[in-house]
């Protein structure tokens, strides 16, 4: 029987440490980026079609580009080119990850479409080749494929897996509208102009907290060098951060380039309390409890 549909589930991420170095000659920044995959997922379903076509469903579907710029489309085209396959495929994205929120939703769709097309077309790409294509697509895409927890160096695409000794509970406060990642990095450059930006590094305390599964210790070690830039572009996020910590979160920070804010909480019960308080505060559009680590891109069936 020929394959008619393949579905892949891909997680969102939060950066528990995003250390940003000075701008490089190519415009990117060297990072020490500690990624943690979280249990908010997009599902990518691919089916054979005459031409490449993308559709998207979910509450924020209208904000997702359905043209060739979508990372899912770019992933399919890259894989097809490398293997001499016609990229005739219908890619459907069932979107649950906040759009342009700093949670790697676009990257997740790129990694998901790549894995799904590889299965649909039986191209049999090796893990190394898939990771190479992911790195070509974007700095966060390799992590979406791999999931779990990892340290990303270079521009974030060179991954070293990290051990996680327990389950961490989070609440993600989703803001109205997105923030452009290049704009946030440009604001980082503006805010640090003339300053001596140190080489990025992950702290031993943070890596220990992950290894031991100690939420209290992780709360003390969370840090995002892009946070001042995101707050500068979106000052209202300070109110969201204050509301989450006032509601009992162990700590809060901007997720990646924002504007989603992430709150680490003690347990599942605290997640529901903090999510309710964040919603009631009126400082965010929605508040989503989630857990980490979560697995990377996973084939669900065909």
In the complex, the smallest distance separating the C-beta of residue 231 from ligand C5P, rounded to whole angstroms, is 18
Q: Rule CB under 6 A: is residue 181 a binding residue for ligand C5P? A: yes
Q: Rule CB under 6 A: is residue 185 a binding residue for ligand C5P? A: yes
In the complex, the smallest distance separating the C-beta of residue 102 from ligand C5P, rounded to whole angstroms, is 11
When binding is defined by CB under 6 A, the residue of 28, 228, 245, 291 that contacts ligand C5P is: 28
Label residues 258-268 b or e (16+ Cβ within 10 Å = b). bbbbbbbbbee
Q: Rule CB under 6 A: is residue 104 a binding residue for ligand C5P? A: no
CA distance 299 to 293: 18
In the complex, the smallest distance separating the C-beta of residue 295 from ligand C5P, rounded to whole angstroms, is 22
Cα dihedral 281, 283, 286, 292 in deg (nearest 10): -90
Is residue 95 annotated as a catalytic residue, yes or no? no
Q: Rule CB under 6 A: is residue 105 a binding residue for ligand C5P? A: no
Chain-centre distance of CA 74, in angstroms? 18
In the complex, the smallest distance separating the C-beta of residue 87 from ligand C5P, rounded to whole angstroms, is 21
* Piece in contact with ligand C5P (CB under 6 A), picked from 25-33, 61-69, 76-84, 168-176: 25-33
CA distance 249 to 173: 12
CA distance 113 to 264: 30
Closest alpha carbon to 112 in 141, 69, 150: 141
Q: According to CB under 6 A, which residues from 206 to 235 bind ligand C5P?
A: none
Q: Rule CB under 6 A: is residue 31 a binding residue for ligand C5P? A: yes
62, 140, 214, 267: which one is catalytic?
140
According to DSSP, the β-strands at 261-265 and 29-48 are unpaired
CA distance 10 to 111: 8
Closest alpha carbon to 229 in 221, 220, 239, 237: 237
* Piece in contact with ligand C5P (CB under 6 A), picked from 24-32, 45-53, 118-126, 212-220: 24-32
Q: Map residues 136-155 to x or -, x wherever contact with ligand C5P holds by CB under 6 A.
A: --xxx--------------x
Residues within the interface to ligand C5P (CB under 6 A): 27-29, 31, 138-140, 155-156, 181-182, 185
């Amino acid at each position: 029987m020929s394959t008619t549909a393949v579905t892949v589930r891909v997680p969102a991420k939060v950066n528990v440490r995003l250390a940003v170095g000075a701008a490089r000659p190519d415009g990117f920044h060297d990072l020490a980026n500690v990624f943690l995959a979280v249990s908010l997922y997009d599902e990518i379903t691919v089916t054979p079609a005459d031409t490449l076509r993308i559709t998207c469903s979910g509450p924020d579907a209208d904000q997702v580009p359905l043209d060739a710029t979508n990372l899912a489309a770019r992933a399919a085209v890259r894989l097809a080119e490398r293997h001499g396959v016609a990229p005739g495929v219908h890619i459907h994205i069932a979107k649950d990850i906040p759009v342009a929120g700093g949670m790697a939703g676009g990257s997740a769709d790129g990694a998901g479409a790549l894995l799904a097309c590889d299965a649909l077309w039986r191209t049999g790409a090796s893990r190394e080749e898939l990771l190479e294509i992911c790195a070509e697509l974007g700095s966060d895409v390799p992590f979406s494929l791999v999931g779990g927890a990892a340290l990303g160096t270079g521009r974030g695409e060179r991954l070293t897996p990290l051990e996680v000794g327990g389950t961490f509970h989070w609440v993600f406060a989703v803001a109205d509208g997105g923030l452009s990642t290049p704009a946030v990095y440009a604001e980082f450059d503006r805010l640090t102009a003339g300053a001596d930006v140190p080489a990025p590094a992950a702290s031993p305390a943070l890596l220990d907290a992950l290894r031991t599964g100690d939420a209290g210790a992780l709360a003390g070690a969370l840090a995002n060098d892009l946070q001042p830039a995101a707050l500068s572009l979106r000052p209202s996020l300070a109110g969201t951060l204050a509301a989450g910590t006032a509601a009992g979160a162990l700590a809060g920070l901007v997720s990646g380039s924002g504007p989603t804010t992430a709150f680490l909480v003690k347990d599942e019960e605290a997640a529901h309390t903090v999510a309710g308080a964040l919603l009631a505060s009126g400082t965010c559009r929605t508040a989503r409890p989630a857990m980490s680590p979560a697995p990377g891109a996973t084939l669900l069936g065909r």
